[in-house]
Copies of this chain bind each other. A is one copy, B any other.
């Protein structure tokens, strides 16, 4: 079996750490060419010493200098800042780039990788939310390829394998409903960051865990679905499924549905993306439906979880509304984690930011970054008035 040279963007985050677990579980199968992280240089150093990449990239320049010092005995090249991340993402020898950066910060490295014609195993949702049309057009233009890592998107990808896309009728994105699926609006208003960070089934980063609790994460997956599979908004449905066993389902024009199932463990879809189109054996636990006994389903409640409605609205409005949605969400989640606003203020801040948004028709990278900046300021102003 051949060795695949990989770059792990966001190696110190949840996706990055689990990617390296998969790499570790398949000795000789992957060669880690580069690791890139934002600021956690202690973990980056540990990872660098274990995986011996050629390059380590650090998002924050001052941290990069510190890491260069501590890795000076290794011969590993340390690069830093946005240019460093982009250089790591586009390394000529890289065959697969794992996009595990959190937030819109992943956009430019993603474009760098796709621009160099790389296959990207993408976990980072925000670039597809804020700049889905741009990213997919860019990939097509430069021969870059996107393989989803998110369990739901990986599920859809697997369900569509070998099928003619013209036969696709609808996509049912499943949603665990988050930790607060059964709370009333009044109870939701009193939710604390600690409660929101305890997701019942998935282990993930802080931002995505809060997004899961508000269902904005599911809204973001609607964007991923829209752009990765080229389906219109009306063909994407949300199906609440608390057990997170059916990871998503597609319906074909003949009424036949195909679903992908498995235990809720990110290592499955990460491994799938790393090995695609191969499938490799592993010793992760197996799904036993007879033991589970039941799977339940429900319609989403857009009244209690307005973020999902806002995501569909921004998607349908198009233009630069999705970029504003994404920026407002990052700011609102941060404010919630800092206890500056309540849980139900998250959708309120986003909705007010969207209402005030003055959309641009064009959407170059620069324009989208301007919108991102402006929407962040706008959201911050809404929060300041709270």
Query: What is the interface of chain A, defined by CB distance below 8 A to chain B?
Result: 158-159, 161-164, 167, 172, 239-241, 246, 249, 251-263, 268, 271-272, 275, 277-282, 284-287, 289-290, 292-299
Contacts and interface: CB of A to CB of B under 8 A. Distances in A.
A281 B253 CA distance: 5
B255 A260 contact: no
Residue in A163, A240, A257, A260 with the greatest tally of chain B CB atoms within 10 Å: A257
Contacts of A284: 255
Nearest to A263: B255
A172 B292 CA distance: 14
A251 B296 contact: no
A259 B256 contact: no
A279 B163 CA distance: 9
Given A271-B254, A281-B253, A298-B293, A259 B262 contact: no
A275 to B, nearest CB: 7
Contact of A257 (B254, B275, B287): B287
Contacts of A280: 253-254
A240 to B, nearest CB: 7
A261 to B, nearest CB: 4
Contact of A239 (B167, B249, B275, B289): B289
B268 A282 contact: no
Given A161-B163, A254-B279, A256-B279, 11 more contacts: A164-B279, A172-B289, A239-B290, A251-B287, A254-B282, A257-B287, A290-B299, A293-B296, A294-B295, A294-B296, A294-B297
Nearest to A170: B286
Contacts of A158: 256, 258
B287 A297 contact: no
Given A239-B289, A251-B286, A272 B297 contact: no
Given A255-B262, A260-B258, A293 B297 contact: yes
The 4 closest A-B pairs by CB, nearest first: A162-B162, A161-B162, A167-B279, A289-B297
